Structure 1
Amino acid sequence: MHKKTPHLVVKDHSVSGEKFELRYNESLDMLETYPQPSLQNLPSYYESEDYISHTDAKRNLFESVYHLVRSYSLKQKLKLINKQSVSGKTLLDVGCGTGDFLQTALKNNWNVTGVEPNPQARDIANKKTNNVVYDADKISEFKKESFDVITLWHVLEHLPNLEEQLALYKSLLKKEGTLIIAVPNFKSFDATYYKEFWAAYDVPRHLWHFSRTAISKLVSKNNMKVVKTLPMMFDAYYVSLLSEGYKSGSKNPLKAFYIGFRSNLKAKQSKEYSSHIYIIKNT
């Protein structure tokens, strides 16, 4: 049995105001949210107009900047998957939100499929992609070894039954295919600085909180390995901006920029960025 010890008590700042423990899993070097909501109750924690990945809204400066950064990020993500297309261009994007990444890939000659559990976001995504986005239950019906690239952009931390999910993605991936996972890193400087106010804990929507070691250990259980780890530089600024709001009641952009800058600067030595992208292959 894995040893799990209390690490932090963190509040749900977005929806419920409830408090949750983060328990350290020593065996995997990761944190686990406790208690975790039941599968029936979990969707209620996403019922917020401020849950930005489920909307295309640009109601204020913060949301406008988010979409500007996302536009740049989409180009970078496209470059990344283009490098991974060894034998073909079939893409599965898990937790695709409102479908912007799928739309970008589709316009660049990728054969795309998406999975999105939120009905509102899924409807928006389907309008952008000719109805190739499905509810989460559908993924178990997909043909085995049918995708060249499977992506999860800040999605793995949301998924119950973690190891079962990774085994499923392994089965859907072609032998030479690539699994790309982007997740926050609880060992980053901004996480250490903000502690229980660190926005990327986002309890209880984030069920798991990963380190680089944790991702390597988890994928190795399915005979896969991390072949490359890339930093997500913008995340330090975005997360710090949200964290300032939770900590002081004001987003305080100058302070947030300073902490984000310090986090990226320190990560040049420590390699512990606010978020990482993991490029994963079969062994």
Structure 2
Amino acid sequence: METIDQCPVCGNSHLSPFLICKDYLISQQDFAIQQCTNCGFRFTSPRPTADRIGEYYKSEDYVSHNDSGGGLINTAYRVVRNYTLQSKLALLNKLNKGQGRILDVGCGTGAFLETCKNGGWEVMGMEPDPDARAVAVQKLGVSIKPGLEELHEVGSFDIISLWHVLEHIPNLNKAILQLKDLLAAQGTLLIAVPNSDSYDATYFKEYWAAYDVPRHLHHFTPATIEPLFKKHGLRLVEQKTMPFDAFYIGMLSTRYQTGKTDYLKSVQVGLDSNARAKRTGNSSSLTYLFKKA
């Protein structure tokens, strides 16, 4: 395990305990989430070292790395994903005013890039998990890199997307600078992450599935993600809610809370979370659009 003793956002070394959460997916271990006393940023610490973190992803239930896992929750995830993939493609075309070149970081088995490729985009991916990467290469017939370091000579991209990926990246500041270097002058960086200030996060507390320790190393909010990118010369131009996430996360959270999925409660909390998000913007997950300042 490694301990993080300095806030990645503001550099403050004064931290306070925020929550103790369990890894319900793999190890059943408890992990601590710390909060910066200056800016409020939250992160998992202590956490597995880079050479050990891969052990915490090896599960048939880890749906982004597995195209065939069963169960009602995973099936529901894939049904919704098929709809949201088309919505994401429409967003890309709107942002770029037509097709262009996209890099999807943490592309998993390549479902999003396949949609983009079929929609006329030139695609490239990055995926550290070798099994998921192999599936993506077979599916897409294009190069999928294992890390950001292997992308330094591939040119620039009109869109760079990280769909629920930034929370997994150990060195945030280094990664953001690498992404900025890969982004075209007028390009858009799309960052989708869970929002630990959402109503469903507050409701479920330590059982909130989107804490997903220790795979999620960082736990973002609108108040903490904007200054992180701003200090690297990237300005926030838009923030979009992700209403489906509240229901999926709710299903997992009720299972963690009681040992059995409570579908009625999941739907109710999801509806409440989305209703509040219409007023506050604080949905269960958020997509942030950044451009070079």
Q: Which of these residues, 78, 85, 92, is aligned with residue 89 of structure 2?
A: 78
Q: Does 1:247 align with 2:257?
A: yes
Q: Give yes or no for contact 1:178–1:280 (8 Å, CA) kept in 2.
A: yes
Q: Give yes or no for contact 1:216–1:226 (8 Å, CA) kept in 2.
A: yes
3-state SS in 2 of match to 1:84: helix
The corresponding residue for 2:135 is: 124
Q: CA RMSD in A?
A: 1.4
The corresponding residue for 2:163 is: 153
The corresponding residue for 2:242 is: 232
3-state SS in 2 of match to 1:206: coil
How far has the Cα of 1:109 moved from its partner? 1.1
Q: Give yes or no for contact 1:94–1:152 (8 Å, CA) kept in 2.
A: yes
Write the distance in 2 (CA, Å) between the matches of 1:4 and 1:79: 41
Write the distance in 1 (CA, Å) between the matches of 2:74 and 2:271: 21
How far has the Cα of 1:58 moved from its partner? 4.8
Write the distance in 2 (CA, Å) between the matches of 1:59 and 1:87: 36
Identify unmatched segments of 5+ residues in structure 2: 1-10
How far has the Cα of 1:138 moved from its partner? 4.8
Q: Which of these residues, 269, 273, 281, is aligned with residue 279 of structure 2?
A: 269
The corresponding residue for 2:223 is: 213
* Deviation >6 Å, runs of 4+: none
In structure 2, the CA distance between the partners of 1:53 and 1:11, relative to structure 1 (3 Å rule), is same
The corresponding residue for 1:5 is: 16
How far has the Cα of 1:93 moved from its partner? 0.1
Write the distance in 2 (CA, Å) between the matches of 1:137 and 1:149: 15
Q: Does 1:135 align with 2:154?
A: no
Write the distance in 1 (CA, Å) between the matches of 2:62 and 2:87: 23
Write the distance in 1 (CA, Å) between the matches of 2:61 and 2:153: 32
Residue by residue over 1:120-154, the C-alpha shift from the partner in whole angstroms, topping out at 9 and shown as x without a partner, is 1111111121132121255343345x111100000
Q: Give yes or no for contact 1:233–1:264 (8 Å, CA) kept in 2.
A: yes
Q: Give yes or no for contact 2:34–2:44 (8 Å, CA) kept in 1.
A: yes
Write the distance in 1 (CA, Å) between the matches of 2:99 and 2:177: 22
Q: Give yes or no for contact 1:166–1:222 (8 Å, CA) kept in 2.
A: yes
Write the distance in 2 (CA, Å) between the matches of 1:256 and 1:12: 20
Residue by residue over 1:182-227, the C-alpha shift from the partner in whole angstroms, topping out at 9 and shown as x without a partner, is 0000000000000000000000000000010211101101111110
3-state SS in 2 of match to 1:219: helix
Write the distance in 2 (CA, Å) between the matches of 1:167 and 1:189: 32
Q: Does 1:223 align with 2:239?
A: no
The corresponding residue for 1:16 is: 27
The corresponding residue for 1:175 is: 185
Write the distance in 1 (CA, Å) between the matches of 2:27 and 2:71: 23
Write the distance in 2 (CA, Å) between the matches of 1:141 and 1:282: 18
What TM-score do the two structures reach when normalised by structure 2? 0.93
Report percent identity of matched pairs: 42
3-state SS in 2 of match to 1:29: coil
3-state SS in 2 of match to 1:6: strand
In structure 2, the CA distance between the partners of 1:281 and 1:134, relative to structure 1 (3 Å rule), is same
The corresponding residue for 1:195 is: 205
3-state SS in 1 of match to 2:264: helix
Q: Give yes or no for contact 2:148–2:175 (8 Å, CA) kept in 1.
A: no
What TM-score do the two structures reach when normalised by structure 1? 0.96
The corresponding residue for 2:196 is: 186
Write the distance in 2 (CA, Å) between the matches of 1:82 and 1:24: 38
How far has the Cα of 1:88 moved from its partner? 6.3
Residue by residue over 1:213-272, the C-alpha shift from the partner in whole angstroms, topping out at 9 and shown as x without a partner, is 211101101111110000000000000100000000011111111111111111112221
Residue by residue over 1:73-132, the C-alpha shift from the partner in whole angstroms, topping out at 9 and shown as x without a partner, is 101110111112259611000000110110010011111000011111111111121132
